[in-house]
Amino acid sequence: MNLDFETNYNIYMEHQRKLTEGNPYADFAIHPGKYYEHPFRIFGNLWYVGNKTVCCHLLDTGDGLLLFDSAAYEQAPLLIQAIWEAGFNPADVRWMIHAHAHVDHIGGAMLFSDMFGTKQYLGAPDAKMMREHPGKTFIYDSHFDFTQPYHVDVEINDGDALTFGNTTIHFVLVPGHTEGCLCSFFDVTDGTQTKRVGYFGGYGFITLDKDYLTYCGDSELKMRQTFMSSLKKVRNEPVDILIGNHPIDNDTLGKHAYMQEHPGENPFIDSTAFQRKMDDVAKRLQKLLDEN
C-alpha cells in the first residue's frame, strides 16, 4: 500500500483536472444530481425516466419493463431513482434497447445486465462498431476510467419486428448519426385509446463532420446523403407521439411543463410532429450538403 497520501492525492487531482479542463460535460459527472428530472407519464404505459440532458423511456409491457436507452455512465443512478419514483422496480427491466451506441446513451447497460439480467438490444451495425471500433462510441468521454463496452444479446436488423410482453416494436435502420441508428414504432395504450409512437434514434450532425467522416474512411462524405435517405425512408410513417433522444429533440420537458399547467391536455399527442421533425432535420441537412 502506498501511504504517501499527499502525492497520491495530487496525482489524482491532476488526472481529474486533465479530464475536466475545457470539457463542457464535466459537470454532468461532478454534479449529476443537478440534472435529475422527475419521471412522468407521457401517455398510458409509456413513461419518461430520463434526465435534463438525455432521454430514457420506460414501457410497461404487462410482462416486464422495457427501457429505451440508459443515459450516460455517470447518470445511471438518476435512471435507477427515476424508475423507482415512477412506481416501478428497476429489477423488472427485462429488456433494454439502445437507439444508437454513443457513450451518452449506453451508460446503464452493463449495470442493468449485471444486477438484473436485463437483455440488451442494439442495431447490428452499431453492435459491430462496438466490437471492432469501440472508440467510435466516444467511450473515452465517460469520465470514468473503468468504462467498458457492454455485451449485446440481440442485434437488430432493418425490418425486424420483435415482441416484448404485449407490445410489438417495428424497427427500421436509419444510418446517419451512426451506421446502426434505429427508428422504432410501437403502440401504447391507456386502456381506452391506442396511440402509435415513433422514435428516431439520433439527429446529431457531429458524426457528419468532414474531418470525422474522412478519418473514418468516408472522404466523399457519403454518410451525409445516407442520413438524408434515412429521413425520407421513415418520413411518412403514421405517428401519434414523437419521443426524443435528447429532451431538446421534441421539447420533452417543455411539453411536460405544459401538461402540468393544463391538466387534461397532452401536447405529446400530435399526429404531425414526427413528419415535421423529419422535415426540419432534412432541411438542416440539405444546407450542410449544399455548403460542402
**What is the rounded CA–CA span in Å between residue 282 and residue 292?**
15
The pLDDT, as a whole number, for residue 196 is 98
With 80 as the cut, is the pLDDT of residue 251 above it? yes
The DSSP bridge pattern shows strands 46-48 and 40-43 to be: antiparallel
First to last CA, the chain: 57
Domain count, the chain: 1
Query: Residue 164: which of 58, 65, 20, 274 has the closest Cα?
Result: 65
Proportion of the chain above pLDDT 70, given as a percent: 97
- Among the listed residues 146, 36, 122, the one whose alpha carbon sits nearest the alpha carbon of residue 86: 36
Within-domain flag for 15: no
221-238 confidence digits (pLDDT tens): 999 999 999 999 999 999
Average pLDDT over residues 258-278: 97
Structure confidence at residue 12 (pLDDT): 82
Q: Please compute the mean of the pLDDT values over residues 228-250 and round it to a whole number.
A: 97
Q: Look at residues 104, 100, 76, 103 and name the one whose alpha carbon lies nearest to residue 90.
A: 76
pLDDT in tens, 108-117: 999 999 999 9
Cell numbers of 88, please?
A: 416501478
Residue 8: predicted pLDDT: 85
Q: Pseudo-torsion of CA 171, 176, 178, 180, nearest 10°?
A: 30
For 229, the domain range is 39-291
Q: For the residues 269-274, what does the mean pLDDT come to?
A: 98
Domain presence at residue 18: no
Q: Do β-strands 57-60 and 46-48 pair in parallel, antiparallel, or remain unpaired?
A: antiparallel
pLDDT of residue 206: 93
Q: What's the longest Cα–Cα distance across the chain?
A: 66
**Taking 80 as the threshold, does the pLDDT of residue 97 lie above it?**
yes
Read off the pLDDT of each residue in 124-149 and give the average, rounded to a whole number.
85
Identify whether 185 is part of a domain: yes
| Window from 36-40, 58-62, 73-77, 98-102 with minimum mean pLDDT | 73-77
Predicted local distance difference test score (pLDDT) of residue 2: 62
Q: How far apart are CA 33 and CA 208, in angstroms?
A: 32
Would you state the pLDDT for residue 139? Answer: 83
The set of cell numbers assigned to 135 is 472508440
Question: Given this model, what pLDDT does residue 214 score?
Answer: 95
What is the per-residue pLDDT across 203-225, written as a single tens digit (0 to 9) for each?
A: 999 999 999 999 999 999 999 99
pLDDT at 3: 65
With respect to residue 104, please indicate whether it lies within any of the assigned structural domains: yes
Does position 4 have pLDDT exceeding 80, yes or no? no
Give a yes or no: residue 5 inside a domain: no
Q: pTM for the whole thing?
A: 0.94
Whether the pLDDT of residue 22 is over 90: the answer is no
Q: Which three cell numbers stand for residue 33?
A: 444530481
Spatial contact of 55 and 200, defined as CB atoms under 8 Å apart: no
Decide if 20 is inside a domain.
Answer: no
Region 83-110 average pLDDT: 96
Specify if 58 maps to a domain: yes
Residues 153-173, mean pLDDT to the nearest whole number: 98
Q: What's the CATH code of the domain at 177? A: 3.60.15.10
Q: Measure Cα distances from 115 to 39, 112, 280 in Å.
A: 22, 5, 40
d(CA 229, CA 92): 37
Read off φ and ψ for residue 189, nearest 5 degrees.
Answer: -145, 150
pLDDT score at 236: 97
Q: Judge whether 267 lies within some domain.
A: yes
Mean pLDDT of all residues belonging to the chain: 94
